[in-house]
Amino acid sequence: MNIIDFIVFLVFTGGIVLYGCSFFDKKASSKDFTTAGKSIPGWVVGMSIFSTYVSSISYLGNPGKSYAGDWNPFVFGLSIPIASYFAAKYFVPFYRTGGSVSAYSFLEDRFGAWARFYASACYLLTQIARMGSILFLLAMPMNILMGWDLRTVIIITSIAIIVYSMLGGMKAVIWTEAIQGFILIGGALICLGVLLFSMPEGPMQTFRIGFNTLDEFGRSKFSFGSFSLFDLRHSTFWVCLIYGIFINLQNYGIDQNYVQRYHTAKTEREAKHAALFGGWLFIPVSAVFFLIGTALFAYYQVMPDPQVDAFNAANKPDYVFPYFMVNVLPTGLTGLLIASVFAAGMSTVATSVTSCSTIILTDYWTRLRRKVHRPGHTHDDGVGDREHLIVLKVSSVVIGTLGIIVALALVNVDSILDAWWKLSSIFSGGMLGLFLLGYMAKRVKNIHALLGVICGFAVIAWISAWKWLGLPDPGLHEYLAIVLGTMTIFLVGFFLALVFHKKS
């Protein structure tokens, strides 16, 4: 690795870690750790939401998908404006006035402790799976760049992220994410510019090759997929869009990563603007990532490379972008691009670590701990608050370690984007359906919701794991697991409440 690239990389990544650690405050309370004292400007929170969306899954996985295929996964991002609208209009006011920093305390109020434990456990599993996917993609460029062992890079990087998120809490996470957001946008734009202007016939050659390269169905590299309304087995435009609507409504509506950010903004108005800004910004930046993948395909069509051919033969499209960074980009830009990949990954992993530790404290420790209070003391002062801080920091280490284990297990996976979407569908478990039952269907009781969740989880298991379970083929794409699971939970719960209400 060129010494200049190495210096650029160290300056950016080392600076982020040190900046995050600078938020350490011995006098900080557990509320400061989880909500940053409600002191963050709206635009910073918005950049933080954007950075949470743009992980290294987006940075390397999306170019890998468009390099190997087309722009069908981009349709996922087109659903975000719908989710961000509902967030600004309904979710932000709902959570800001609710009092609890946990996204799942509302479920306990409506349906009992089981609902809170179910949703929070699904959330923890989802975040651990996401962290593993991101940590792997974050380590990949250094493996190609330096020849360093993937496992070693995953472990060292994870330790650095855990340290600054554990020391600085939510304030450190959000401010570093805002900076990382600018770094990753700048890095992506620079790389796209280099790709387009490296073509022998200029930037338009990329678009000509993309439009003229057709798959077996006659669709170009810029295709959003089939528009068939009745094909539910493949990732068509409509399957991907519906999947995106449900996932993004779940993100904005009941994902602790987002709900916790609503509490960090100074005012409710700024929190609403943050939700809209973070979601809308993702769309053009996501388009840049997909265009990078298409440009990579065009570049290596006119300038073939044996190593890229080897990646193609091994079905590892995620490796092509890091290889381009290392072997084609000018000196200095390689270090910047590797730093921007790290910025994308570090921001999302730090978010998951902090939000998961918050859930462990609020939904498990303080919920299950039978604490004897002395007169004049509460959970938020004195010994109680010191205990909460210890729980938050120990939980950060535990969650980070589990993320490392998942990352190591994903080393031999072909497409990380596919793996993440499948794991997300399974572990999300239809949390959105349970939330909608509590939020919209006032007559639904505990038992109705519980039966709905059982039915919804059965549907998710059938669609996602029918081969493992020896069940008949549902004839549906795996992305639809969360869609049908959510709908089943809501409809079953609503129907049962309607029937038993009429009988009573």
Given this model, what pLDDT does residue 416 score? 53
Span of 71-75, 188-192, 271-275, 420-424 with lowest mean pLDDT: 420-424
- Which residue has tokens 């409506």? 110
Residue-level pLDDT at 420: 56
Q: Lowest-confidence range among 17-31, 208-222, 284-298?
A: 17-31
Q: What are phi and psi of 265, to 5 degrees?
A: -70, 155
* β-bridge partners, 40: 265
Cα dist from 313 to 68, 309, 417, whole Å: 11, 6, 19
Split at pLDDT 50, 70, 90, the class of 488 is very high
The CA distance from 338 to 9, in Å, is 7
CA angle 92, 110, 378 (to 5 degrees): 75
DSSP string for 310-374 = HHHHTT-GGGHHHHHHHHTSPTTHHHHHHHHHHHHHHHHHHHHHHHHHHHIIIIIIHHH--PPPP
User: What integer is the mean pLDDT of 201-207?
Assistant: 94
Cα-Cα-Cα-Cα torsion 230, 236, 242, 248, nearest 10 degrees, comes to 170
Whether the Cβ atoms of residue 391 and residue 365 lie closer than 8 Å to each other: yes
User: Please, which pLDDT band fits residue 380 given cuts at 50, 70 and 90?
Assistant: very low
- For residue 352, which of 12, 123, 76 has the smallest C-alpha distance? 123
For residue range 406-444, what is the model confidence (pLDDT) as tens digits? 888 776 665 555 555 566 666 666 788 888 888 887 888
What percent of the chain is modeled with pLDDT above 70? 90
> Which domains does the chain carry?
3-13+40-368+399-428 (1.20.1730.10), 429-504 (no CATH)
- Amino acid identity at 313: A
- Whether the per-residue pLDDT at 142 is higher than 80: the answer is no
List b or e across 274-293, with b for residues whose CB sees 16 or more CB atoms inside 10 angstroms.
Answer: bbbbbbebbeebbebbbbbb
Q: In sequence order, which residues have a C-beta less than 8 Å from that of residue 499 and are 6 or more positions away?
A: none
Structure confidence by residue, pLDDT tens digits, 13-60: 888 888 888 887 777 788 888 888 888 999 999 998 888 777 666 777
Instruction: Please give the mean pLDDT across all residues of the chain.
Output: 84
Residue 490 pLDDT: 92
- Coil/strand/helix, residue 69: coil
In this prediction, residues 270-295 reach a mean pLDDT of 93
The kind and range of the H/E element at 172 are helix 150-197
pLDDT at 338: 79
pLDDT at 213 over 90: yes
Query: Alpha-carbon distance 100 to 475, whole Å?
Result: 41
- Residue 438 CB-density burial (10 A; 0-12 exposed, 13-18 middle, 19+ buried): buried
CA angle (66, 188, 278) in 5-degree steps:
90
Give which of 364, 497, 365 is closest to 441, Cα–Cα. Answer: 497
In the prediction, which pLDDT does 381 show? 43
Give me the pLDDT at residue 187, please. Answer: 83
The model's confidence at residue 219, banded by pLDDT at 50, 70 and 90, is very high
Per-residue pLDDT reduced to its tens digit, 320-372: 888 888 888 888 888 887 777 777 677 778 888 999 999 999 998 887 775 44
Tokens 């990532």 belong to 289
Res 156 pLDDT > 60: yes
Condensed to tens digits (0 to 9), the pLDDT of residues 273-282 reads: 999 999 899 9
What is the rounded distance in angstroms from the CA atom of residue 484 to the CA atom of residue 259?
Answer: 24
* CA distances, 471 to each of 231, 306, 429, 453, 458 (Å): 21, 43, 19, 20, 11
Contact 281, 287 (CB under 8 A): no
- Cβ contact 288:189 at 8 Å: yes
Does residue 202 have a pLDDT over 70?
yes
Q: What is the C-alpha radius of gyration for the chain, rounded to an integer number of angstroms?
A: 23
∠ CA 175-98-272 to the nearest 5 degrees? 45
- Segment 400-404 shows an average pLDDT of 89
Using a 10 angstrom Cβ sphere, with 0-12 exposed, 13-18 middle and 19 or more buried, the burial of residue 31 is middle
Amino acid found at 376: G
Phi, psi dihedral angles at 244 (to 5 degrees) = -65, -40
